[in-house]
Amino acid sequence: MEEARDIAIIGGGPAGLTAGIYTRRSGVDSVLLERELPGGQAVFSPLIENYPGFPEGISGAELMAKMKEQASRFGLELRDFSEVRAIEETKDGKRLTTDKVVIIAKAVIVATGRSPRKLGIPGEEEFTGRGISYCATCDGPLFKDKEVMVVGGGDAAVEEALHLTRFAKRVILVHRRGELRASSYLEERARNEEKLDFMLNSEVREIKGDKTVNSAVVENNKTGERNLVPVSGVFVYVGNVPNTKFLEGFIDLDEAGYIITNGYLETSVPGIFAAGDVRSRDFKQVVVSAGEGALAAASAMRYLEKIGAKEAYEGDHAPQ
């Protein structure tokens, strides 16, 4: 079965939902396709303190729920668990193949974000969901009064380690460098947290257990010494990979797999735009993704006008 749409938005994080708010508010026939549930990685942030309008901060889950509610109020059709497997060019537009339906869209906004990178060590696959987690916000309460390990040294790792101290008896943060990469504000909080210990210049080489995790093999990368550290859980925060596998060979990606765009968020294929963390840029923040969602929507609507698919839209994308 095929459906025809003016704009298809792929991905339901801050960029995708904001794009949907803008397109639907302008009366554009739009659908948002999300492979899981709307919200993206922002859902897992326990506290977002730098999103304008929330002086006391707001949890990622609450912020994304508000974005979803706003998009729904303007009539955006949100389709959960609809993963786009492939895109191809046709004479009628872009053909999006999902596991449920085929959509022919005149314009496409890709806002698929990125996913946590795995360690690729023995025991990781075996114990994922059985002591290994990539979301402290989701699974932290399961480790009440237990000792856990966090792998990573950036903002996400330190933020989640601090979150885990609310539940765990002890949190060990393992980082391969001698200094953390987190912001000074987060590092100061971490250094002052009594329940948080550090293993720097160290890397996890293996995760062991029986039915669930009971220890991790940690190697000091300066001395080569290995230690078996008893822990009940391991939380991994060693970076992310862009969700662009389905676009390989179709649009231009950078060396890391992120989508290359110009200033109007146009990709190498006319009619396809990209916004949010899936785009090739350094600064990954919810507020930036939301702004890019708005710009991608404006650019997509201008594209529809250019190809004569619609008369000029009145509203948000008009030049100020």
**CB neighbours of residue 35 within 10 Å:** 19
Classify residue 69 as exposed, middle or buried by CB count within 10 Å of its CB (0-12, 13-18, 19+): exposed
Pick from 136, 127, 140: which is nearest to 156 by CA? 136
Burial tier of 74 (Cβ tally within 10 Å: 0-12, 13-18, 19+): middle
Question: Looking at the annotation, which residues are catalytic?
Answer: 135, 138-139
Q: Output DSSP code: residue 48.
A: B
Coil, strand or helix at 105: strand
Kindly report the number of other CB atoms within 10 A of residue 136's CB atom: 28
What is the rounded distance in angstroms from the CA atom of residue 134 to the CA atom of residue 226? 24
